[in-house]
Structure 1
């Protein structure tokens, strides 16, 4: 049995802007990935609304700092064969950072955490697949428009920055924006069709990385 940890934010949790609410289990990209890979692989969906790569956001009761939580989550689900990380959209919030380079540096920190973590009992460090989120789009939703002000331009830089990082550190890379678009309902989240598309598209990459 191979184990894949999908570490992300609301796009991995399955936030549905149309509700608002949560997408049905079968529509979440992690569930689609599980179905594509079959019974020989366990896909763990570890998504948290508002999670950043490595920055604090105290506006919620949960700890949204992805770097601070990752070691505990790695220990919870060990041993792992692959960690898929799709984060960075929330880093685009002006009060978080609003800078795509900061998101790249945050992702680099997450890679270093996965590789430096003592997975115990002789287990090797898992492989890593970096995923850039779909580009933030323009929206008439006043709250999200201000929440992600400038995010449409800044988030366009995430894919090339993450691709370069993946080359630098020897990770896999996938641009989720190549198959999915954010909904104009809030400019950030995905409808059911687009979140399913990510699961279908990532599946063959995961198969290769797991040597299935």
Structure 2
């Protein structure tokens, strides 16, 4: 059986867009939906953490949110891996972090370099990589979420992510998937997804994963 590491933030964790709402049920998280769509041929390991960035430190949180720093440990603990799917970058758009779609894509590029540089020992299996550009941020009446991301300007910036991610994926020979083609943020907070849209990401990824893994 092949193994995939799904490396992401709150959208991979299954965060509820309703303030104070419970985490989405296991079956509604996109890594689970992907595993189900692949009909038992692949095990998908979900590594999602709310607030996780590609390469930035966020000292206002109680856990290490810097994806570049924690990724080598996860690669080591879950090896061997056939594929790593990276869906990060939304948190990079916050004004006290990277702010732009281009910088988020550059952060994902660094994660690709980390994955490939980690598996350099003789006999190592170098996993395939898919870059996933996250769903767009949308307007919301939530009193804190949009201001936390810098206001309305972040909406347009989030809509640029797919273009930059596709460019970086092509440069590095990675797979690319635009999650905004299948999933939309919930207006409850403008960032997170309801269960249906969370599942759609896993279901939408399945054909590309099958192709790249030769299933």
- Please confirm whether the aligned pair reaches a TM-score higher than 0.5, indicating the same fold: yes
TM alignment of 1:42-191, pairs within 5 A: 42-118=43-119, 120=121, 122-149=123-150, 150-191=153-194
Whether 1:7 aligns to 2:7 is: yes
What SS does the corresponding residue of 2:102 show, helix, strand or coil? helix
Aligned to 1:209: 212
TM-score, normalised to structure 2, is 0.96
TM alignment of 1:22-41, pairs within 5 A: 22-41=23-42
Q: Which runs of 5+ in 2 are unaligned?
A: none
Equivalents in 1 of 2:120, 2:17: separation in Å?
37
8 Å Cα contact 1:88/1:103 also seen in 2:
yes
Equivalents in 2 of 1:169, 1:26: separation in Å?
32
Which deviations, in whole Å up to 9, do the C-alpha atoms of 1:61-104 show, x marking residues without a partner?
Answer: 10000001100000010000000000000001111121111111
Equivalents in 2 of 1:122, 1:139: separation in Å?
50
Equivalents in 1 of 2:71, 2:213: separation in Å?
21
Aligned to 1:198: 201
8 Å Cα contact 1:79/1:119 also seen in 2:
no
Shift of 1:121: 6.2
Shift of 1:124: 2.0
What SS does the corresponding residue of 2:144 show, helix, strand or coil? helix
**Aligned residue pairs: how many?**
212
Q: Which runs of 4+ in 1 moved over 2 A?
A: 18-21, 118-121
Shift of 1:123: 2.1
Cα RMSD, aligned residues only: 1.1
User: Which one is further off, 19-28 or 61-70?
Assistant: 19-28
TM-score, normalised to structure 1, is 0.97
Equivalents in 2 of 1:9, 1:69: separation in Å?
13
Shift of 1:36: 0.9
Equivalents in 2 of 1:121, 1:36: separation in Å?
33
Shift of 1:177: 0.2
Q: Which runs of 5+ in 1 are unaligned?
A: none
Equivalents in 2 of 1:119, 1:86: separation in Å?
24
What SS does the corresponding residue of 1:21 show, helix, strand or coil? coil
Equivalents in 2 of 1:104, 1:196: separation in Å?
24
